[in-house]
A and B are shown apart, each in its own frame.
Chain A
Amino acid sequence: MAQAPEQTAPALGKDLLGLEELSRGQILSILDTAERFKEISVRPVKKVPALRNRTIVNAFFENSTRTRVSFEFAEKRMGADTVSISTSGSSVQKGETLVDTARNLEAMGIDMVVIRHSSSGSARFLAERIPSNVINAGDGKHEHPTQGLLDLLTIRDHRGRIEGLKVCIVGDVLHSRVARSNIHGLKRLGAQVAVCGPATLLPAAVAELGVTVFRRIEEAIEWADVLNVLRLQLERMKSGFIPSLREYNRVFGVTRARVEAGPRDLLILHPGPMNRGVEIDSDVADGPHSVILQQVTNGVAVRMAVLYLLSGGRAEQAEAVKQGGDP
């Protein structure tokens, strides 16, 4: 075994609840670790024993095929034992409270919980009540930190850096946990961030997060190096936030004509699932600017990195790191 003092990554703490509470050093450490882990997914045996004998529960109280599958791949490639529960198969529908669900899982001797839940703050709620590591896989409209991280990794892959880049988040920022995680992560790494969408879908006081607000997509494209196009939930029309999908596409849609009219070679991300022809046109989604499929690939690597960095850490040391901010 190597004998000299080894290099260690900055501790993340017990849980990953959001990017707002991570330092620049912690975020970079996750990205650098994910960079190493990309290679595992192309090995003949796509599996390492790093999390051998660790039991992870994917508790998805809200539908999400893609995030759940991505976590499951990441867990299995790290050698963990995993169980996934979703709303239809859980006792949540029988009126069991979140805290009882958590305690039951804990009583079965698990090490980590990946939680997706429709209530903002639910991941923190769980994390404060059980000793297992908790990873937020999307809590209401709050954060989706692993999505934010994979977006950062994808941007860095293509532009070589995050610092100084101009990134505009387009669409339904109001309801988007992806937007919040992106804003915190991008700002922490020194990007300039903007949001663009109809005012009905932008949160109050969003500028106080340190972002620029564009009313029109043309202005956003004129400004940006990177567009992160959010999914427009179709029910937003029924709730009256926008009058029609058709008009949304006309006014805010990321179309080929708009992208090509821009002054720069844009990089275009989308967290998926896409509504083709609504927030993004197919020839953009499938075109040369799009890195959407690479986001999916990077998602597995980022989640492997998060699983690795959270495992085995010491809570009190991690808290000290968090209190101290950037190392």
Chain B
Amino acid sequence: MPVHRVDTAVRAGLSFRVLHPLPHTPAPAVMSDSQRRSVMDTAAVERALARMAREVVERTGGTERLVLVGIHRRGVDLARWLADEIGRTEGVQVPTGSLDITLYRDDLMVVGPRPVVGRTELPDGGIDGQQVVIVDDVLYTGRTVRAALDELADFGRPRRILLCVLADRGGRELPIQADIVGAQVPVPEGGRVEVLVPGTDGSLGVEVVGGNG
């Protein structure tokens, strides 16, 4: 995501607020396949998700008052996958929801173009007194999770909140850790992790893209 600096310029007697891209901001580039490296194939992701589903149930002591909330976009797909997996093993359909944290981002007022806002939809029963599991694809700086925690707090007071991510790439900027992790994925400098999910990407997997590694 491009980082911008708020500045004020004086032009023709009027000052205009302008946003300059910082010089070191890497331009989003289309990566060729040679720069992509699969770190988890479909089977590996499926195994990880199955294990994560079991861990969720273990950590929450069953499916009682359990709610899975995916963070828009891929977290939502993963939350549904986990709910289906739990349904298969436990015989209970766990309610799921989606959370778009755009409006809670701490950099919202400095990024240039407005991000498209996705759907936020929590289960009908709400989250008061529930055990809420936040599900996301990648855990990096922790800022998304911070935003998600703030947003959830505006919907109610869960008994407990857990964080469940498929890929933890490190690089935290906030004191936030995941409770349940699919895999630790080290990423070379300048690279990024991409999680592919069937609903959005047509396949399932985890790839590392770009970087000098």
Q: Do any beta carbons of A and B sit within 8 angstroms of each other in the complex? A: yes
A114 interface contact, C-beta 8 A? no
Interface string of B7-35 (1 = CB under 8 A from A): 00000001111110000000010000000
Among the 9-residue stretches A5-13, A164-172, A174-182, the one with 4 or more Cβ atoms under 8 Å from chain B is A5-13
Q: Report the minimum CB–CB distance from B151 to chain A (whole Å).
A: 8
B116 near A39: Cβ-Cβ < 8 Å: no
Which one of A117-125, A255-263, A269-277, A304-312 is at the B interface?
A304-312
Instruction: Tell me whether A312 and B110 are in contact (CB under 8 A).
Output: yes
Minimal Cβ-Cβ distance residue in B for A29: B116
The docked-state distance in angstroms from the alpha carbon of A154 to that of B1 is 34
Q: Does B55 contact A (CB under 8 A)?
A: no
Q: Specify which of A32, A43, A52, A315 is in contact with B155 (CB 8 Å cutoff).
A: A43
Contact A44 B116 (CB under 8 A): no
Looking at the complex, which one of B16, B114, B140, B141 makes contact with A11 (CB distance below 8 Å)?
A: B114
Query: Which of B28, B104, B120, B141 sits near A5, CB closer than 8 Å?
Result: B28
Q: Judge whether A44 and B156 touch: CB under 8 Å.
A: yes
B119 contacts the other chain (Cβ, under 8 Å)? yes
Check A45/B104 contact, CB under 8 A, given A2-B144, A314-B112: no
Which partner residue on chain A sits nearest B6 by CB separation?
A: A312
The distance in angstroms between the C-alpha atoms of A51 and B102, with both chains bound, is 12
Alpha-carbon separation in the docked complex, A315 to B8 (Å)? 12
Find out whether the CB atom of B115 lies under 8 angstroms from the CB atom of A9.
yes
Output the least CB separation between B13 and chain A (Å).
10
CA distance A315 to B113 in the complex (A): 10
Query: Is A4 an interface residue when CB atoms closer than 8 A count as contact?
Result: yes
A317 to B4, CA, bound (A): 14
**21 A-B pairs whose Cβ atoms sit less than 8 Å apart in the complex:** A1-B143, A1-B144, A4-B192, A5-B1, A6-B115, A8-B116, A9-B114, A36-B117, A39-B119, A48-B103, A49-B103, A49-B104, A50-B108, A51-B109, A78-B103, A131-B14, A308-B114, A312-B19, A312-B108, A314-B18, A317-B112
B90 part of interface (Cβ distance < 8 Å): no
Contact B109 A7 (CB under 8 A): no
Q: How far is the CA of A131 from the CA of B118 in the complex (A)?
A: 30
Q: How far is the CA of A271 from the CA of B115 in the complex (A)?
A: 30
Tally chain A residues at the interface, Cβ within 8 Å.
41
Question: Is there a chain B Cβ closer than 8 Å to A313's Cβ?
Answer: yes
Contact assessment for A1 and B117 in the assembled complex, using a CB-CB cutoff below 8 Å = no
Residues of B within 8 A of A9 (CB): 113-116
Which chain A residues lie closer than 8 Å to B194 at the CB level?
A: 3-4
Query: Which residues in chain A, 20-75, are within 8 Å of chain B measured between CB atoms?
Result: 29, 32-33, 36-37, 39-40, 43-45, 47-54
Report how far A9 CA is from B116 CA in the complex, Å: 5
State in angstroms the CA–CA spacing of A50 and B114 once bound together: 11
Contact B141 A53 (CB under 8 A): no
A129 part of interface (Cβ distance < 8 Å): yes
Interface set of B (CB-CB < 8 Å, partner A): 1, 14-19, 28, 100, 102-104, 108-121, 126, 138, 140-141, 143-144, 150-151, 154-156, 192-194
User: How far, in whole Å, are A187 and B169 apart by their CA atoms in the complex?
Assistant: 49
- Given A4-B194, A49-B150, A131-B17, A312 contacting B111 (CB threshold 8 A): yes
Query: How many angstroms from the CA of A32 to the CA of B120 in the assembled complex?
Result: 14
Question: CB within 8 Å of B: which residues of A?
Answer: 1-9, 11, 29, 32-33, 36-37, 39-40, 43-45, 47-54, 78, 129-131, 308-309, 311-317
| Complex Cα–Cα for A281 and B126 (A) | 42
Q: Name which residue of chain B comes closest to A10, CB basis.
A: B113
Cα separation A309 to B154 with both chains bound (whole Å): 22
Contact indicator A316/B18 (Cβ below 8 Å): yes
**What is the minimal beta-carbon distance from A3 to any residue of chain B, in angstroms?**
4
User: What residue in chain A is nearest B75 (Cβ atoms)?
Assistant: A2
Evaluate whether A129 and B111 lie within 8 angstroms (CB atoms) in the complex, with A6-B1, A36-B118 already known. Answer: no
- Identify the closest chain A residue to B119 (Cβ): A36
Give the residues in chain B near A40, CB-CB below 8 Å.
Answer: 103
Complex contacts, B114 vs chain A, CB 8 Å: 8-9, 11, 33, 308-309, 311-313
Residues in A with CB closer than 8 Å to B154 are: 43-45, 47-48
- Determine whether the beta carbon of A11 is less than 8 Å from that of B104: no
Q: How far is the CA of A5 from the CA of B30 in the complex (A)?
A: 10
> Which residues of the other chain, B, contact A29 by a CB distance below 8 angstroms?
116
Shortest beta-carbon contacts, A-B, top 3: A8-B113, A45-B154, A50-B103
Since A2-B1, A2-B138, A315-B18 are in contact, a sample of 16 more A-B pairs with Cβ atoms closer than 8 Å, ordered by chain A residue number, is A3-B1, A3-B138, A5-B1, A8-B114, A9-B113, A9-B114, A32-B116, A33-B114, A33-B116, A36-B100, A37-B117, A39-B120, A48-B151, A308-B103, A312-B108, A313-B114
Q: Which residues of B contact A314 (CB under 8 A)?
A: 18-19, 112-113
